[in-house]
Amino acid sequence: MRILLLNPPAEHTAREYVDPDNPSDHGLLETEDFGLFPPLGLLYILAALKENAPEHEVLFLDCIAEKVGHQDLALKILAIKPDLVGITSFTISMFDVCLAARTIREPFPQAHICLGGHHPIAFPFESAELPEFDSIIVGEGEEAFVALTHAVAYGADFTGILGVYTKESIKRQRHCANDPRFLTSVIVPPAYIKNLDLLSSPDRSVIQHLKYRSIVGVSDRLATMISSRGCPCRCSYCDVPFKKYRQRSIISVTDEIRGCLEAGYTEVHFYDDLFNITPERVVAFCDELTRRGYRLHWDFRGRVNNVTRESLVRAKAAGCRMISFGVETGSDEGLALLRKNTTIDQARKVFAWCRELGILTIADFMIGLPFETSADHVRRNVDFLLELDPDYAQFSILSLFPNTELFADAARRGLIDPERWRQFAAAPRADFSVDHWEEFLSLPELLRLQKESYRRFYLRPRYIWRSLIATCSWHEFSAKMQGAIKLFR
Ligand code: B12
Ligand code: SF4
């Protein structure tokens, strides 16, 4: 069989922020401004197929990185002639995902098209109903997609495979969720990989020619990596806890790094939801990197409550260039309401240590939170971020995503209509936009505050001077300039 793993074009992505008074205004920075990143999930599935179903020919196409639009995709599909297609998805990219599936279906009505990725995880029932797909995979695809491949190749029944569903089979699988974060009372069992160490490393051979990049990276030779999946925390705005937390062994992670270094990558960005689950794990990882003598830049996303100065010292010595911390808001009361389980003092301490040790910091910050009752309240929280003085700050307007406590709260209080999401999930439209908490501040007001916050942070003369001095590569310089031009505009 010819199998195609597809990251579809992104021409009609639903917007996180759309100002109703000015629909062309999508906020200061959009997703594409942050860079271009490999679809890691598909690369994992590609590796699993090559290892466990080598009799099939597997092709990989990242339409976003290859700049393939829907029209070009139609031509490419004619040449590829796929028998089985696996398409990855985000909920906000579903219009494009369905369009791509129809583009494949038209010339190849017999092809089996399977939907995987984040959308069927968030909306299994609606996804299974979509007429574009023959099956969906809820959860992690490495084992389930290989099993589906064997079944499709031999014309066997695939509805018994854990995580694989059709519109009929999903109806037999309803289990009680019994969790207030879910507005529905039923969930379906997802496919999860129990032992992540048994997986082959993502197959990066197919993306060697592509220049993925991050606005905060130093080069265009960056690899993304994941050392754990899921997160044990329970932040009220986040749907990751929905996924089971599992770690890889330090040896397996450092072996993958060896492969990346051999392939010429110089920079690794860890995409774990929570990399520094304990300071001890960070230290063990750094010790192994140091023992092996690997030289690379790496960074991770973490929490301020799991950090010791010693773990930062070891991280710096082992090449850690930058850490992105979820600071979120500027008061302990706010952090408690977000169930963040961190304090602003912890943030102060950790940001000071990083500055002292020369580790760059990104502070992720949110505005438009349920307890921010006025513009001045938002500004006071942003004052805290200015006081922390990280190297980069990202100001997001709280987006309400399904399967989170805040989404359920907003729906129960009548602030949002959850049916909008269900309708979108059942029939994705290009003009859908995400909901925000607009009890006290409207989205246009929040967008103005977001721009004001970015300018307050990035246009400080001291900040501009410091970051120009610290810029160490052409890539970094041009990324900063692009950001600066947007801010000045
Ligand atoms: C890295 C990342 C990004 C990066 C890069 C995205 C990329 N190219 O992969 C950037 C910064 C661009 C990004 C942007 C956004 N992201 Co993001 N991101 C992530 C993050 C942290 C890691 C993704 C990852 O690589 N995971 C590791 C791989 C191995 O896992 P995986 O992708 O889940 O893949 C597995 C399964 O999903 C499945 N699978 C995946 N594809 C396929 C395909 C087939 C055929 C099959 C069978 C299975 C399958 O099998 C894979 C292997 O097990 C996740 C959080 C998370 N923990 O997943 C959020 C996450 C995916 N992002 C999310 C969101 C909402 C966004 C944004 C809207 C902005 C925002 N508010 O965060 C934008 C939108 C992007 C867009 N399309 O325009 C949500 C998605 C929710 C949803 N229902 O769609 C997540 C889950 C975070 C969250 N809980 O809110 N993101
Ligand atoms: S926000 Fe981060 S720490 Fe909190 S639950 Fe989500 S992934 Fe975990």
Residue 69: count of CB within 10 angstroms of its CB:
12
Question: How many Å separate Cα 291 from the centre of its chain?
Answer: 31
The answer on pLDDT for 22 being more than 90 is no
Ligand 2: which of 181, 235, 339 to mutate, most ligand atoms within 8 Å of CB?
235
218 plus 174 within the same structural domain = no
365 plus 484 within the same structural domain = yes
Domain C-terminal end among 171, 187, 203 = 187
284 plus 174 within the same structural domain = no
E strand residue ranges, 106-211: 112-115, 135-137, 164-165, 175-176, 186-187
Residue environment code for 384-417, b if the CB has 16+ CB neighbours within 10 A, otherwise e: bbeebbbbbbbbbbbbbbbbbbbbbbbbeeebbe
- The pLDDT tens digits of the residues spanning 232-287 come to 999 999 987 556 899 999 999 999 999 999 999 999 999 999 999 999 999 999 99
333 plus 269 within the same structural domain = yes
28 plus 175 within the same structural domain = yes
User: Is residue 28 within 8 Å of residue 451, measured between CB atoms?
Assistant: yes
What are 326's strand-pairing partners?
364
In a domain, 75, yes or no: yes
User: Is residue 452 within 8 Å of residue 365, measured between CB atoms?
Assistant: no
Number of the ligand 2 atom closest to the C-alpha atom of 232: 8
Count of domains forming the chain? 2
| Share in percent of the chain as helix, strand, coil (round to 5) | 45, 15, 40
- Residue 242 sits in a domain whose CATH number is 3.80.30.20
In a domain, 430, yes or no: no
Q: State the Cα–Cα distance between residues 406 and 62, nearest whole angstrom.
A: 33
Region for residue 337 given its phi and psi (left: phi exceeds 0; alpha: psi -120 to 50; beta: otherwise):
alpha
What pLDDT score does 474 carry? 66
What pLDDT score does 297 carry? 95
Q: Which residue's alpha carbon is at the smallest distance from atom 67 of ligand 1?
A: 31
In a domain, 354, yes or no: yes
Tokens 């490419």 belong to residue? 76
- The pLDDT tens digits of the residues spanning 113-122 come to 999 999 999 8
Helix (H) or strand (E) holding 96: helix 94-105
Q: How far is the CA of 243 from the centre of ligand 2 (A)?
A: 11
Number of the ligand 1 atom closest to the C-alpha atom of 114: 45
Task: Say yes or no: CB of residue 47 within 6 Å of ligand 2.
Answer: no
Domain C-terminal end among 122, 152, 187 = 187
In a domain, 283, yes or no: yes
Which of these, 213, 222, 210, 234, lies nearest to 269 by C-alpha position? Answer: 222
In a domain, 160, yes or no: yes
Q: Phi/psi at 64 (nearest 5 deg)?
A: -70, -50
Task: Say yes or no: CB of residue 217 within 6 Å of ligand 2.
Answer: no
Q: In what order do the strands lie in the sheet with 112-115?
A: 57-62, 2-7, 84-87, 112-115, 135-137, 164-165
340 plus 461 within the same structural domain = yes
Segment 126-140 shows an average pLDDT of 96
What pLDDT score does 249 carry? 98
Q: State the Cα–Cα distance between residues 277 and 300, nearest whole angstrom.
A: 11
- pTM here is 0.93
In a domain, 410, yes or no: no
- The pLDDT tens digits of the residues spanning 357-382 come to 999 999 999 999 999 999 999 999 99
Look up the domain containing 333 and give its range. 211-398+437-488
User: Is residue 318 within 8 Å of residue 338, measured between CB atoms?
Assistant: no
- Residue 90 sits in a domain whose CATH number is 3.40.50.280
Determine what percent of the chain is predicted with pLDDT higher than 70: 89
Average pLDDT, the chain: 91
108 plus 255 within the same structural domain = no
256 plus 165 within the same structural domain = no
101 plus 243 within the same structural domain = no
